[in-house]
């Protein structure tokens, strides 16, 4: 493990829930994350985390003042892990409501084509090709969502899940930006190991 105590890991707090579980998962890696509400200051870090649980429009509003700067930082190689809503903010727009995402991944966020929503509980991450899955042993993942990402270019998709016949990206990767629609911090010990594997790779 790298000397993580010398690294700055920042969770951008845009009003989403579940910061505690993610912060706890990061802290078990060896350093306490910084919680930052200012998007411009959130990118003054070694690793940026965009947490999940929440609605697209209010999160986009909180992101808006630092949108251009954060987009540029990610394009320049700032490591970023977007979780659930955080993954959706990596795209351009959402059917959930108005507001602009980062556009790091071209595409749109859409409602899952299913009758039972939200999708809450365990599902499989299939056809996983991101090394983070192999390193962590993560296969079954925990979801709490009604919306999913539809990237324009599916080459960025690194695993898939299916809910009531709707197959959607469970994870994506573009450069040093990784997005997961599931909650690794709630996906048992293998999910926490996934977060650690991501941090290990990005801080190496």
Per-domain residue ranges of the chain: 4-203
Does the pLDDT at position 1 exceed 60? Answer: no
In this predicted structure, the answer to whether residue 25 has a pLDDT above a threshold of 90 is yes
Query: pLDDT tens-digit profile of 148-198?
Result: 999 999 999 999 999 999 999 999 999 999 999 999 999 999 999 999 999
Question: Is 164 assigned a catalytic role?
Answer: no
Flag whether pLDDT at 52 surpasses 90: no
Axis-axis angle for helices 188-203, 19-27 (nearest 10) = 60
pLDDT at 102 over 50: yes
Q: Can you give the pLDDT at residue 17? A: 67
149 is catalytic: no
Class of domain 4-203: alpha beta
Which residues does 20 contact at the CB level (< 8 Å), separation at least 6?
Answer: none
- Asked if 84 is an active-site residue, the reply is yes
Tell me which of 110, 156, 163, 183 is the catalytic residue: 183
What pLDDT is attached to residue 163?
98
Catalytic residue among 84, 96, 110, 149: 84
- Cα 99 to chain centroid, rounded: 18
Half-sphere exposure of 40 (CA within 13 A, CB side): 3
Give the end-to-end CA distance of the chain in Å, rounded to a whole number.
Answer: 8
Confidence of residue 2 (pLDDT cuts 50, 70, 90): very low
- pLDDT exceeds 70 at position 4: no
Q: Which residues of 65-75 are buried (b: 16+ CB within 10 A; e: fewer)?
A: ebbeebbebbe
Q: Is the pLDDT of residue 5 over 90?
A: no
CA distances from 195 to 29, 74, 113, 177 (A): 9, 18, 29, 13
Q: Is the pLDDT of residue 42 over 90?
A: yes
Q: In this predicted structure, what is the pLDDT of residue 63?
A: 96
**Among 36, 96, 110, 185, which one carries the catalytic annotation?**
185
């Amino acid at each position: 493990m790298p000397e993580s105590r010398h690294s700055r890991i920042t969770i951008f707090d845009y009003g989403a829930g579940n910061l505690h579980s993610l912060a706890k998962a990061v802290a078990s890696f060896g350093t306490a994350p910084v919680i930052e509400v200012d998007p411009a200051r959130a990118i003054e870090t070694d690793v940026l985390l965009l947490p999940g649980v929440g609605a697209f429009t209010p999160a986009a509003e909180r992101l808006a003042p630092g949108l251009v700067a954060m987009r540029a930082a990610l394009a320049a190689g700032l490591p970023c892990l977007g979780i659930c809503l955080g993954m959706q903010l990596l795209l351009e727009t959402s059917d959930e409501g108005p507001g602009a995402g980062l556009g790091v991944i071209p595409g749109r966020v859409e409602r899952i084509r299913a009758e039972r929503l939200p999708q809450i509980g365990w599902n499989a991450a299939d056809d996983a090709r991101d090394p983070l899955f192999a390193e962590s042993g993560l296969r079954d993942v925990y979801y709490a969502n009604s919306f999913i990402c539809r990237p324009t270019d599916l080459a960025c998709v690194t695993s898939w899940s299916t809910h009531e016949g709707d197959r959607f990206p469970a994870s994506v990767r573009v450069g040093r930006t990784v997005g997961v629609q599931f909650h690794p911090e709630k996906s048992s010990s293998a999910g926490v190991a996934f977060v650690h594997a991501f941090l290990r790779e990005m801080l190496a």
